[in-house]
């Protein structure tokens, strides 16, 4: 079954005061912020499908909506049954900065998002006969076509720059998106007997096949450069993609006895035509063409197993999803499903090397249907977001109790190289069906997004209300990082003063009294923890404040890291 149909409830994670039993694990951080995508009336709805952060700490979300929704001062009204929305949210102000809609008279959905500087890329599918993206108009060639579009973020506003479609006479879906420089990578699956990607046409072998395509962004326009298909004689789908350099990592599911990935044939765990296995593949972008370098299978016999998310850091490849087989193999690791019934399953998260070898695998869940939808990595910390329907679900030593329907979860694992362990788990939800669908990490926090149904949803002590009891509302929620992107083992420096804040042009820093005279190192980083400026000055404790120049910085959230002798401190700074 296609992933966008398996996710048809489109509910979401909202942290409520669910009961959590904690073992000898770190305490889960408390929710800091939760913001709904409010509806204009009781027939409106929304869902956030993807999120990403930029170097200034801004958070971008995309998804779809029906009726009228309000994003900050911008009200969007759908033209068709569902339209696409893209919005920017500022953690510094706790509000939406801008929002844009796209689509036509039919049901149109955004599923993926990627950020590169001031460029915002969105992908999904549209059923409208014609769909508008600003001044760009795409014409559908079948029942559903894939799209990818680019917006330019001007700070307080954004405009569509270009849009491209792909597909054929049947239903074709874009599920994943990744960007590296001017290279834009798109992945999904297509049912059409033949589907065009610019001037290139590919044909299906089974009922639905995987596609991975590359576009070259030329600024005001883009063209498809190459496309690869994969799969077997049955149903196959791609769910997620990540990129580092010229290496692409794609994950999804395939059914049938074999799956063909370029010159590589992948054997299924069973010959049953009704079962699916998860796959993870590495492709190499050779410029004008791409090819599969390796492919690995995961899963077992007697159930359907799906990979839903992938993230790459260095030489480590992380994959998350769900398995419904009684037991599922991830290389030498064998996981057992605690679910009862063919539709019940457990979530999994696994790590591979860049050469395609499995290192470890972990499961979590209970007797119901529990799955991972999204994945983000910060150093050795692995964050997974998803949903669980089990009355109780175990995540290592933590047990989360369900309050009704599907509840959401965010879990952190510690990667120890050849092994891993659960650090904490945080639940969310209400009486309706809720699901965490997207997660992103920056130095300002862990951002979780999705939608919730039912009268209300709680994020710890924070509660979001839904006036429409039959429809879902999207949300963005924030957890603090328990391991900052930039850390130090030095003694914490107290008494730092930084003003004005917000600032423009320059800020002033006053140091506390230091035990010994020592040079003071000032390091300014953006919200992703990337170092922008470093300077060493003489200590001025008790004297004149130090000048911190801010010229050339775009508005956003930054951090000033101060080190003197064996002491250190951090100051958040908003630049206007």
- For 432-491, the pLDDT digits (tens) are 889 999 999 987 789 999 999 988 888 888 999 887 767 899 999 999 886 545 443 446
DSSP classification of residue 270? -
Q: What CA–CA distance (Å, rounded) separates 505 from 155?
A: 18
∠ CA 223-224-227, nearest 5°, is 175
Share of the chain above pLDDT 70, in %: 89
Query: What average pLDDT does the segment 332-342 reach?
Result: 93
Q: With beta carbons less than 8 A apart as the criterion, state whether 293 and 282 touch.
A: yes
- For 358-399, the pLDDT digits (tens) are 999 999 999 999 999 999 999 999 999 999 999 999 999 999
43 — pLDDT class (breaks 50, 70, 90):
confident
DSSP 452-479: E-SSEEEETTEEEE-S-TTS-EEEEEEE
Of 73, 110, 108, the residue nearest 93 (C-alpha): 73
Q: With beta carbons less than 8 A apart as the criterion, state whether 219 and 206 touch.
A: no
Of 20, 26, 22, the residue nearest 400 (C-alpha): 20
Helix (H) / strand (E) containing 3 = helix 3-6
How does strand 546-549 pair with strand 59-66? unpaired
527 — pLDDT class (breaks 50, 70, 90):
confident
The residues with which 237 forms a beta bridge, in sequence order, are 253
Q: What CA–CA distance (Å, rounded) separates 406 from 143?
A: 30
- Sequence-ordered list of residues with C-beta below 8 angstroms from that of 103, at least 6 positions apart, any chain: 78, 79, 80, 82, 83, 84, 126, 128, 131, 132
Q: What CA–CA distance (Å, rounded) separates 133 from 122?
A: 11
- b/e sequence 103-127, b meaning 16+ C-beta within 10 Å: bbebbbbbbbbbbbeebbbbbbbbb
565 — pLDDT class (breaks 50, 70, 90):
low
172: number of CA atoms within 13 Å, CB side? 30
Backbone angles phi, psi at 498, to 5 degrees: -130, 125
Q: With beta carbons less than 8 A apart as the criterion, state whether 483 and 378 touch.
A: yes
Query: What average pLDDT does the segment 45-59 reach?
Result: 93
- For 139-160, the pLDDT digits (tens) are 999 899 999 999 999 999 999 9
Please tell me whether residue 553 adopts helix, strand or coil conformation.
coil
The length of the chain in residues reads: 576
Helix (H) / strand (E) containing 209 = strand 209-217
Q: With beta carbons less than 8 A apart as the criterion, state whether 208 and 2 touch.
A: yes
Domains, in order of start, for the chain: 3-152+159-479 (2.130.10.10), 491-575 (2.60.40.3080)
- Sequence-ordered list of residues with C-beta below 8 angstroms from that of 341, at least 6 positions apart, any chain: none
Query: What average pLDDT does the segment 386-413 reach?
Result: 93
Across the chain, mean pLDDT equals: 88
46 — pLDDT class (breaks 50, 70, 90):
very high
Share of the chain above pLDDT 90, in %: 65
24 — pLDDT class (breaks 50, 70, 90):
very low
Of 396, 389, 397, 335, the residue nearest 366 (C-alpha): 389
Q: What CA–CA distance (Å, rounded) separates 202 from 211?
A: 9
- Sequence-ordered list of residues with C-beta below 8 angstroms from that of 242, at least 6 positions apart, any chain: 178, 248, 249, 310, 311, 312
* Residue 451 structure tokens: 């939608």
Q: What CA–CA distance (Å, rounded) separates 212 from 290?
A: 9
Report pTM: 0.84
Residue 22 has pLDDT above 50, yes or no: no
94 — pLDDT class (breaks 50, 70, 90):
confident
Q: For the ranges 79-83, 165-169, 213-217, which has the lowest average pLDDT?
A: 79-83
């Amino acid at each position: 079954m296609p992933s966008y149909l398996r996710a048809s409830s489109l509910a979401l994670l909202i942290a409520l005061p669910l009961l959590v039993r904690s073992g000898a694990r770190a305490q889960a951080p408390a929710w800091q912020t939760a913001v709904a995508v409010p509806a204009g009336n009781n027939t409106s709805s929304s869902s956030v499908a993807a999120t990403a952060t930029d170097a200034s700490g801004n958070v971008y979300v995309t998804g779809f909506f029906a009726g009228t929704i309000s994003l900050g001062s911008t009200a969007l009204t759908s033209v068709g049954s569902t339209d696409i929305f893209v919005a920017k949210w500022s953690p510094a102000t706790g509000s939406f900065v801008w929002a844009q809609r796209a689509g036509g008279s039919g049901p149109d959905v955004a599923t993926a998002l990627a950020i590169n500087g001031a460029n915002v890329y969105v992908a999904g599918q549209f059923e409208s006969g014609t769909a508008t993206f600003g001044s760009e108009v795409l014409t559908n060639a079948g029942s559903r076509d894939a799209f990818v579009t680019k917006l330019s973020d001007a700070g307080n506003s954004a405009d569509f720059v270009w849009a491209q479609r792909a597909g054929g006479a049947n239903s074709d879906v874009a599920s994943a998106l990744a960007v590296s420089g001017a290279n834009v990578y798109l992945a999904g699956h297509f049912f059409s007997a033949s589907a065009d990607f610019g001037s290139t046409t590919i044909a299906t072998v089974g009922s639905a096949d995987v596609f991975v395509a590359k576009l070259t962004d030329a600024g005001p326009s883009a063209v498809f450069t190459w496309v690869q298909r994969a799969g077997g004689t049955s149903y196959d789908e791609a769910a997620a993609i990540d990129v580092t350099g010229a290496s692409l990592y794609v994950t999804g599911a395939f059914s049938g006895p074999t799956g063909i990935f370029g010159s590589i044939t992948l054997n299924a765990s069973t010959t049953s035509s009704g079962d699916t296995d998860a796959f993870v593949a590495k492709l190499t972008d050779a410029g004008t063409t791409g090819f599969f370098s390796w492919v690995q299978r995961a899963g077992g016999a007697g159930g359907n197993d799906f990979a839903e998310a992938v993230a790459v850091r260095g030489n480590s490849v992380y994959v998350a999803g769900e398995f419904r087989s009684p037991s599922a193999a991830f290389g030498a690791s064998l996981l057992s499903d605690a679910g009862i019934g063919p539709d019940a399953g457990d979530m999994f998260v696994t790590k591979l090397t860049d050469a395609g070898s499995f290192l470890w695998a972990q499961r979590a869940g209970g007797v119901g249907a529990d799955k991972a939808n999204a994945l983000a990595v910060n150093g050795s910390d692995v964050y997974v977001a998803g949903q669980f329907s089990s009355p109780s679900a175990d995540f290592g030593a933590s047990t989360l109790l369900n309050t009704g329907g599907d509840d959401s979860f965010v879990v952190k694992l510690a990667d120890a190289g050849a092994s891993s362990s659960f650090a904490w788990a945080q639940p969310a939800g209400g009486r309706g069906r809720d699901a965490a669908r997207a997660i992103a990490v920056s130095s300002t926090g862990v951002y979780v997004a999705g939608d919730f149904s039912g009268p209300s949803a709680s994020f710890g002590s924070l509660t979001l209300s839904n006036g429409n009891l039959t429809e879902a509302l999207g949300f963005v929620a924030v957890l603090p990082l328990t391991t900052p992107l930039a850390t130090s083992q030095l003694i914490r420096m107290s008494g730092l003063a930084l003003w004005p804040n917000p600032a423009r042009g320059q800020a002033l820093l006053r140091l506390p009294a230091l035990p010994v005279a020592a040079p003071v190192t000032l390091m300014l980083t953006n919200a992703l923890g990337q170092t922008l400026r470093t300077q060493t000055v003489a200590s001025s404790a008790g004297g004149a404040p130090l000048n911190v120049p801010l010229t050339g910085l775009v508005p956003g959230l930054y951090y000033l890291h101060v080190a003197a002798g064996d002491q250190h401190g951090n100051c958040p700074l908003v630049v206007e």
